[in-house]
Amino acid sequence: MPADASPVTEATIASSRALLGIVARSLVPAISEVTVPQFRVMVVLTQGGGLRMGDLAERIGVHPSTLTRTVERLEHGGWIVRAADQENRRQVRVDLTGKGKALVATVTDRRRAMIAEVIEAMAPAEREALRSGMEAFARAAGEPHAADLLELGI
């Protein structure tokens, strides 16, 4: 441990590595089908329902032309559909297909199961301490930037 690092900092770093390992392993079903940036688009669409292309690009933090290429590939693979926006026919809305929703659900379910398995291996008092500590950490850290999440497919 570096001389200036606290035991709490070191424990948090070790835990973050463990969580990143779970995230990476949970993505296995997806990365054989789509790229990590493509999967991130799918995750955002799951959270927000159908979105206009401009809104989606903003949420993900990419240039609209970059998003257009990503969306074309996802549409070609049957993961998403594009349609004219009902309120403004000049704009395009993007939404997941059933196939796209199923892939996101598979990864999410896999990630939850992997995390639950780790938590179940802990003693009840450790689980409660973890819950309390993770809630406090999440409050203190705030929401991550979209660009950071994009790189991880989360």
Residue-range domain boundaries for the chain: 7-152
Q: How would you label 88-110 residue by residue, b for 16+ Cβ within 10 Å and e otherwise?
A: eeeebbbbbbeebbebbeebeeb
Q: Across residues 26-39, what is the average pLDDT?
A: 93
Q: Which residue has the tokens 């926006």?
A: 85
Q: What is the tens place of the pLDDT at every residue in 65-115?
A: 889 999 999 999 999 999 887 777 778 889 999 999 999 999 999 999 999
Top-confidence residue, 152 or 83: 83
Q: What is the CATH number of domain 7-152?
A: 1.10.10.10
pTM, full prediction: 0.81
